[in-house]
Structure 1
Amino acid sequence: MTIAIVGEEKSILGFKALGVESFFVKEEKDIEAMASKIKEKEVGIIFLMQQTFEKFKSQFDFLFQQALPAVLVVPSAFATEKTNFLKETLERALGTDKINLS
């Protein structure tokens, strides 16, 4: 099982240099190509850059339908907007919006 990272090129280029399976996503067609390669390479963990996830949210639904690969949405070092990333992730994982992080 391997580890992969998915996102915009500027955010994940360094990971590719370290040998991490990297998938650059600019358009929807890139997600389709990535999906088949993830199965082929038996990816067990995917780090999905938050900006990319938010841009193509509905196209990434298939990643959350099964236990593997485990998908972790992580903020990009280049993110310019603040989000409720942790709260949204917990809500999705727990299936409830009754979470108070204050």
Structure 2
Amino acid sequence: MYKVAVMGDYDSIYGFSALGVDIFPLDDKVLAIKELRRLADNEYAIIYITESLAAEISEEIDRYRERVTPAIILIPGVLGNTGEGVSGVKKSVEQAIGSDIVFGNN
């Protein structure tokens, strides 16, 4: 059975445990890379990563872009939204449908 994980600073991710999601509080780049590899190799189908942590390990995340699993999804942390999560979704949709999409605040 596939599992769901969330990685990032503790304050940003601790609430996910109430939803039954496995949390992995990390703020060290080297440990985050090791943990991402371990999760990807151990039946985690979806891995949410805070945008700030993802910025530190972006090259490692890129290794998984073409794989079906795990799906790596960026989420904002307590320090705010950098826009990388929305940008990543937009890029994925553009690749899938071959067309640009527009996110608006209508």
Q: Distance in 2 between matches of 1:35 and 1:85?
A: 17
Which runs of no fewer than 5 residues in structure 1 stay unpaired?
none
TM-score by length of 1: 0.72
Comparing 51-60 and 84-93, the one that deviates more? 84-93
TM-score, structure 2 as length reference: 0.70
Match of 1:101 in 2: 103
Distance 1:91 1:36, change over 3 A: closer
Residue type matched to 1:101 in 2?
A: F
1:83, distance to aligned residue in structure 2 (A): 3.0
Would you say the 8 A contact 1:8–1:24 is kept in 2?
Answer: yes
Give aligned-pair identity as a percent: 19
- Which whole-Å CA distance do the structure 2 matches of 1:47 and 1:98 have between them? 24
Query: C-alpha deviations, 1:13-38, integer Å up to 9, x for none?
Result: 23346542222232221123213421
Q: How many residues align?
A: 101
Q: Alignment partner of 1:3: what SS?
A: strand
Name the counterpart of 1:91.
91
Q: In structure 2, what is the Cα distance between the partners aligned to 1:83 and 1:35?
A: 21
How far off is 1:46 after superposition?
Answer: 1.0
Runs (5+) with no aligned partner, structure 2? none
Q: Where does 1:1-102 land on structure 2 (aligned, <5 Å)? A: 1-16=2-17, 19-76=20-77, 78-80=78-80, 83=83, 85-95=85-95, 98-102=100-104
